[in-house]
Structure 1
Amino acid sequence: MLDFTVNLTSLGFEAGLSEGEKELVYLRSRSAGLTVSGCAHAVFAYELLSLLRKKVNAENGCTAKAHLCVGILGGGHMGKQLAMALLRSSSLKPRHINISTKRPETLGEYSNMGVECYFDNIRLAKWADVLFLCVLPSHLPQVCAEIRCHLPSRCLVYSFTSAVPLNRLAVLLDHSFLIKPQYEFVACDNVTTIWLLHNQVTSALRDKEVISALFPLSMNGGLFLDQRWVSAVLYSLLNMCTAEKLSSGTTLQLLNGLFKTKTLTYHSFVNTPGASDLKNPGDLFPWISLVDAQTKDTPLSDLVSRDKGLRDCISVMYYNVFFKT
């Protein structure tokens, strides 16, 4: 039977809106764009960390824990979207992800896939190598007070709570191994429609046009990402190697191998005036505060901004996460 209502503009979303309300329609695109880009960039960050973990294990001859434990704190809309994006668009296995939420009984779809769902934020914080914060800003102070004494120093916290500034979040958690992407949105009628092409994040992440619009170093579609996010992700990789007591020489070898480049040197990450360019390759890199990496100019942010070859390597890796070659 034919559906005679298909394509009738009188039944469309905007048909009953006043002129004043129509001016706010761009907020739909903004919300969808932020959700899709947030999930895409989180998947990319996870994949980089996962790939490096495998390289580090191979270097150390360790196979005891070849995977990263991923925790999602919050099972609302954002937490669910992120969990599905990670499960469908990355190499993450259901058994390596846990979700803590006040209502775990609402996550039956994920439990059936093999994801462990419960309400115990402290347990999640102690267990996770990467902890994604997907809670409402109003709940954040209580959540942070609950988990701050239980976060291992090497646990990377990745926050989706956009209304809370990074420095404030660092204080609440007493934790500097922390990433919080900063997005800006400019409403443009000719580009924002890309974010409304898909009803599900997972389908959007299979669309080459969408993924191309979300290249971290050259976003379009009205969305812009603070470029220091890329530096923070790269510094998180550096810290992973430092936590494993890998020498600076081995760390650089692994990171250059990961990005298929020869660009990265000791001074790409650390600014040490007066130090020899030939840094002792047996020394460890210092532990880097990711809060500083996202709030200040760093040697790495400078390198990324001026080295097109490195930017191209990062973009290729990003694209290959979603479309394996």
Structure 2
Amino acid sequence: MQQQLSTDGESLLFELKMADIMANLKTFQPEYEEGTSETLLRLGSRAKGLAVNGCAHAVFFCKLLKATRQKEESCKEVPLYSLEPESKSNQSLKIGIIGGGHIGKQLGRALLELSGISGYYIQISTRRPETLLEFQMLGVDCYYNNRQLVSWADVVFLCCLPSHLPHICLEIQDAIKEHCIIYSLVTAIPLPRLMQLLPSKAILRPQYTFTDDDPIDIWVTNRTVVEALKNPAVLQVTCPCSCTGGIIVNMKWLAAVFYAALNSYSWQRLSYAKTLLLLNQVCFPENFVPASAEQPFLLAENFINQAFASSLSPDDTFPWFDLTTVQLKKSPFSQLLATSTLLQDNIALFYYNMMTENLGESMPDTSGIPLSAVLLKPPKALSDGIDGSYMGDVEQASSTDSEET
């Protein structure tokens, strides 16, 4: 157990269930030190750490996706404080959660308190909706109808038991909207298997790795996930570009998050030039200068190969990206993330500021180097070896990445 776990962090579901059980065992509490096994303390810390990281990254993803729609939504006349579904703008991000157990509740609380998304844009489907009174009082629709939830939502979080997942996927697969993103927190089911269960190319599934020097105190200091995510020190170590907390998320997941943002803009029929302009304004508002719109920080060739980027006309949209392939194969953006520590530092700043925008916190930018230094002149490695290979990878994804049943 002291050794590094697999990239799936064993089973997130099992760990979170263990965290729930251990909440009532005094031997797992921070104040219980004398005579406590270090191995048991580490297990409890990792379980709590997985819960905190999983919820933090889900909230970050929803806030970024919501921000991609706010730019267009701000031009519309929407009645202030209106809570009626008929008054909701079509651009509003609608979030569905399948599963109202430990994971679903933790995620629901984190979204309600930290994402800035109203409960009237969140729905939960669970076998026991009567146990979710706290959510219903905040405007969340709670019921048991997975197909209804999937046909309504823009993002669906899978928070069910692994044994229930095949049946749920069979039930919802023909109700998923074209632009709907399925975000799985059931890490016992690998991404290739999810691709078999669901006919969707928009599946996100974070994969976590433990380092040998993972700390114990940082995760168990706060009693709940929401309390932990209100702690600036905890937020810093949950950053996808950080490894100081002992839990690392796959960088290809982070790349897929940005490709999902591009898909969101394309779904709104925005040109690739407008998309890049808005995405840069969302991600780097302090550094981005509108006058430099002709040379934004993020360029088309950071996401697609240069030959394809040069063929785009100003009114063209980005192609619709296969998010599952982005997580399974190398992409231009994942290569840039892997080679540019400067980009990682700036994304870390963006992550922290976005996660603390409702908490009155800020983190100073200590890099002292403009982001344009690396992105206006992408590394040579970004252009070499991308000559059509990425587009080919996308086309071959369904045949090369499938898993035997």
TM-score by length of 1: 0.89
State how far apart, in whole Å, the 1-side matches of 2:283 and 2:41 are.
Answer: 40
Q: Which residue of 2 aligns with 1:304?
A: 337
Whichever residue aligns with residue 251 of structure 2, its letter is: Q
Secondary structure of the structure 2 residue equivalent to 1:149? coil
TM superposition shift of 1:194: 1.0
For 1:227-266, list aligned pairs within 5 A: 227-260=251-284, 261=288, 262-266=296-300
Moved more, 33-42 or 258-267: 258-267
Match of 2:319 in 1: 286
Q: Distance in 2 between matches of 1:276 and 1:175?
A: 25
Q: Which of 143, 146, 153 is residue 118 of structure 1 equivalent to?
A: 143
Take 2:149 and 2:302, find their aligned partners in 1: how far apart are those partners? Answer: 34
Q: In the alignment, which residue of structure 2 is the partner of 1:4?
A: none
- C-alpha displacement at 1:62, in angstroms? 7.7
Partner of 2:232: 208
Which of residues 292, 300, 304 is equivalent to 1:270? Answer: 304
| d(CA) in 2 for partners of 1:291, 1:186 | 25
Which whole-Å CA distance do the structure 1 matches of 2:347 and 2:309 have between them?
28
Query: 1:35-184 residue pairs with structure 2 within 5 A?
Result: 35-58=51-74, 64-184=89-209
| Unaligned runs of at least 5 residues, structure 2 | 1-25, 79-88, 289-295, 363-405
Deviation of 1:293 after TM superposition, in Å, equals 0.5
Task: Name the residue aligned to 1:28.
Answer: 44
CA deviations 1:133-154 (Å, max 9, x no partner) are 1011111000000001000010
Deviations 1:113-149 (A, max 9, x none): 2111000000000000111110111110000000010
| CA distance in 2: counterparts of 1:248 and 1:114, whole angstroms | 36
Q: CA RMSD in A?
A: 2.3
Q: Aligned partner of 2:191: which letter?
A: L
SS in 2 for 1:25: helix
Shift of 1:100: 0.3
Residue aligning to 1:316: 349
CA gap of 1:305–1:62, structure 2 versus 1, over 3 A, is farther
| Aligned amino acid, residue 269 of structure 1 | F
Contact 2:98 2:156 (C-alpha < 8 Å) held by counterparts: yes
The question of whether the paired residues in 2 share the 8 Å contact of 1:263 and 1:310 is answered with no
Structure 1 CA distance, aligned partners of 2:316 and 2:77?
Answer: 21
CA distance in 2, matches of 1:286, 1:16: 58
1:8-30 Cα distance to aligned partner (Å, 9 max, x none)? 99x9656676xxx6534311111
Q: How many residues align?
A: 312
Structure 2 contact 241–345 (Cα < 8 Å) conserved: no
CA 272–171 in structure 1, closer or farther in 2 if over 3 Å, else same: farther
Identity %: 40
User: What residue is the counterpart of 1:3 in the other structure?
Assistant: none
